[in-house]
Amino acid sequence: MANVHLFWMTEEREEACCRTLLEDVVQNLGLSTLCEHIAKNQTEQKILMEHLTDFCSDEATIQYRQDVFRDIAADPHATAVFQEILAQLQFLQIQNHSNASEEARLWFLFSRFRELEAYAACIRRIHELFQEVALSSTAFLALRGQIAELIQSDVFRALEAFVKGFRLDVDQVKSITVGINLDASLNPESVALVSVNSQKYKSQTFISSVSNVFEKKEFQDLLLPAKLHQMSQDRQDHLLYVVYQDVERYVKPLARTLSDSLNRFTSICTNTLTYLIPELLFYVRFAEFYHEIRALSMPVCFPSIREKALRETDIEGVYHLNLMLHMLERGQAPQQE
């Protein structure tokens, strides 16, 4: 699936039509203040600033970007749809950064399964969301077509069927019971896996169990068929990590099935669409700001595009965005004169 970009019409960025704004210009325009208001965090602020200060003068590229923004900002519902698409891609990106290592084979397999599960769910949801909005931009029409084609592919259908079936098996494991021996200072001394359970523990059950133990004057040791793992002297071992191998033994048949199934989907790259996140983030955050301005009955419009030789500045009803934001922070309602 060829990449569709929201800022550029082709894979090759046209460097000739762009220039970076000078620092003095950035400060005079108050872009930092604007980004602080629009962005949700510092990472987003950095992304917005990078795009704002990368100034493009090519007519076709400007029109291409305006068409994308019009699709996203068409109305509050359209913006909400693209907000969810952005959230889906961000969730998928998180799944692609799993900390599971191949050394812990079982957990690596489950990590890959969760990655594929998130991918299938995200692609399906994005496909559904694209059906809820009217699109006219070249970029989104191409992206919607690619996703529709992907949804209909044999590989994707097989992936959805596998994820659904395997999830039913995985969902049967709700909790594990671990026995921990303590020394005289109540520090963990050794640990063992007691059982794998199909039900979750409740805090009420735990509290009542502890209460019953301390009410008794004598304790009767229960001999359980579980391997006892001694803790290291520096006590730096993670309590659960030392019983992971025992858990693997219990679910080994499941792991073999999972491994065989995952081999069928090695060609799937789950970060296929996550490259869109910075670009989509820029459009979505400014679409939110666009609706915020309109809700205040302040004027906002799209600039018309002219050839470079004929360009001029002709603005009516101009106002300072940062002054408007400052007034809002002080509880004053900005008004158009």
101-113 pLDDT, tens digit per residue, is 444 566 778 788 8
pLDDT of residue 309: 79
The Cα–Cα gap between 163 and 141 comes to: 28
Q: Which residue has the higher pLDDT, 9 or 43?
A: 43
Work out the end-to-end distance of the chain between its first and last CA atoms, rounded to an integer number of angstroms: 51
Residue type at 214 in one-letter notation: F
The Cα–Cα gap between 299 and 303 comes to: 13
The Cα–Cα gap between 290 and 299 comes to: 10
Q: Which residue has the higher pLDDT, 14 or 81?
A: 81
pLDDT of residue 238: 61
pTM of the model: 0.73
Reported as a pLDDT band with limits 50, 70 and 90, residue 322 is confident
pLDDT of residue 291: 95
Summarize pLDDT for 205-242 with one digit per residue, the tens: 444 454 444 444 443 343 344 555 565 555 445 665 66
Angle of helix 252-262 relative to helix 154-170, nearest 10 degrees, comes to 170
Torsion angle (degrees, nearest 10) of CA 30, 32, 38, 43: 170
